[in-house]
Amino acid sequence: MTRRHTAEETKQAMHLIVGEMYDRIVKGEPPTMTLPVRTKNNIGFDKKLGVYKYGKKQSIRDATSLGSAKQLLRALHVVEFIEEMLVAGKSSTLREMYYISEAWGLGKFGSQNESNNLAEDLEIVTKCLREDFKLRPEEDGARMIGNLTLRERNRRGEWMRINARDDVGDSGYGVPYNVEAEKIELLENDIDFIMAIETGGMFDRLIENGFDEEYRCGLLHLKGQPARSTRRIMKRMSEEWDLPVVVFLDGDPWSFRIFASIAYGAIKTAHISEYLATPSATYLGITADDIVAYDLPNDDLSKKDIEALNAELSDPRFADGWWQEQINMMLELGKKAEQQSLAKYGLDFVTETYLPEKLAELGLA
């Protein structure tokens, strides 16, 4: 597992990047920054860790174009900014850093996406985590409901014991952005598995139908592509409590990607896959065959959908036979379906028929 770094270690790691730029200028060459290629062509399965990691392909960002040169300058500003925070014992959100960059003149960010990407670049090159950099996301954490108990350290530094069924309202327990041991401790549970759900509508449907109690599970709302903290807490629960994780998503190419990022590691964060991914997670539905088997209301695949499916066919994370079959089947059908299309057969169909049948296949119901 990626380990945390002290302030001094973090600083040294960052100085290696700065040193590369400086030394190149001294040699009379354009300054550069070397980092792994961050595409599906450069991720490979790490047998030891059980997740997908970046491979050996490197790309060199050199200052021969204005865009790259500005990236290098921004990286220097970010390094300087992080050093200041390390010294002052402060932290900042990525969004705050984006606004702070307003004062960096030529090195200011054009969009927040740029600053987020650069923070990731630095993580990758230094092998530090953004927590080491004192940078926080403002990504929206997940909601959880179920008979599980954890301890969270609140703003006053006191530990609060929370049961995610009895101590919360209908919206469930909100997962904070930091779910590391210093913030959250997993205490005990009385459930058989964890179910991650893509849409809020379905999450609320299962709660209203009392699914979590009837089937003894913890429900987790992913809110689309899950945030780092969502993936991280899933992994912790799965490992520390030894619980199976099933993933219930829409039946479309984008849901396949969400699952891949949960189970195998996301391409963007492949440098910390072993820290975020839950290799034991299972894709429950909606599968391509569900669309046919349950005769679900569906939509035609768009041009973008088809492009995405074709890209997935050559994505190493979907290389196994079951996935190839599912993707090809969806391409053949030319159709996709939403989770909530199950409502065609009534509001209870999902909890009384669909999920029990699917879980039975996995031996969970």
Partner 1 sequence: MTGIAQKLASNQKQVAISEFFEKNKHFLGFDSLARSLITAVKEAVDNALDACEEARILPTIRVVIEKIDTKKDIIKLVVEDNGPGIPQKSIEKVFGQLLFGSRFHAIRQSRGQQGIGITGVVMYCQLTTGRTTHVRSKISGEPTAAVVDIGLDTRKNKATKSNQGREIWYNEDGSAKEHGTEVTAQMKAKYQKGRQSVWQYLRMTSIVNPHAEITFTDPDGEVHHWPRVTERLPTKVEGIKPHPHGIELGQLQRMTSESTDSRLTVFLRMNFSGVSARASKELCVAAEIDEKTKPKSMNPDQIRALLEAFQGERHVNGKPVKLLNPPTNCLSPIEEMLIKKGLSKTIDSRFISTLTRAPAVTQGNPYQVEVGLIFGGNMAADKPVEVLRFANRVPLMYQQGGCLLTKAIESVDWRQYGLDQPGAKGVPKGPAAILVHLASTNVQFTSEAKEALADNGEVIEEARKAMLEMGRGLRKHLEKKKKMAKTKEKFELINDILPAIAEKSAHILGRPVPDLAGSITKIMSAVISETSTTWNKETKQTDVMITLFNYTSRVRAYTILATWPEKAGAEMINNETGGRKEATGVWAWKLPSLEPGERTVITYNLSGLERGDWTETDVFFRGSQDVIGASKMDEKFLEEIRRQERALSDTGNADSTPEEPAEPMGEPTVAPPSGQTTLFGGDV
Where on the chain is the footprint of partner 1 (CB under 8 A)? 15, 18-19, 21-22, 24-31, 63-66, 69-70, 72-73, 76-77, 79-80, 83, 105-107
At closest approach, how far in Å is the CB of 154 from partner 1? 37
Query: Do the bridges between strand 184-189 and strand 92-93 make them parallel or antiparallel, or are there none, so unpaired?
Result: unpaired
- Three-state secondary structure of 106-144: HHCCCCHHHHHHHHHHHHHHHCCCCCCCCEECCCCCCEE
CB of 18 or CB of 333, closer to partner 1: 18
With tokens 């679900």, the residue in question is 296
At closest approach, how far in Å is the CB of 61 from partner 1? 12
CB of 1 or CB of 66, closer to partner 1: 66
Burial 97-120 (b: 16+ CB within 10 A, else e): bbebbeebeebbbeeeebbbebbb
At closest approach, how far in Å is the CB of 107 from partner 1? 7
CB of 65 or CB of 154, closer to partner 1: 65
At closest approach, how far in Å is the CB of 88 from partner 1? 16
From 22, 98, 99, 275, active-site residue: 99
Which pair of tokens denotes residue 338? 């939403």
Question: Which stretches of 241-297 are DSSP H helices?
Answer: 253-263, 273-276, 288-293
Distance CA 364, CA 76 (A): 51
Question: Is 98 marked active-site?
Answer: no
Phi and psi at 359, nearest 5°, equal -70, -35
Distance CA 283, CA 246 (A): 6
CB of 69 or CB of 329, closer to partner 1: 69
Which positions are catalytic?
99
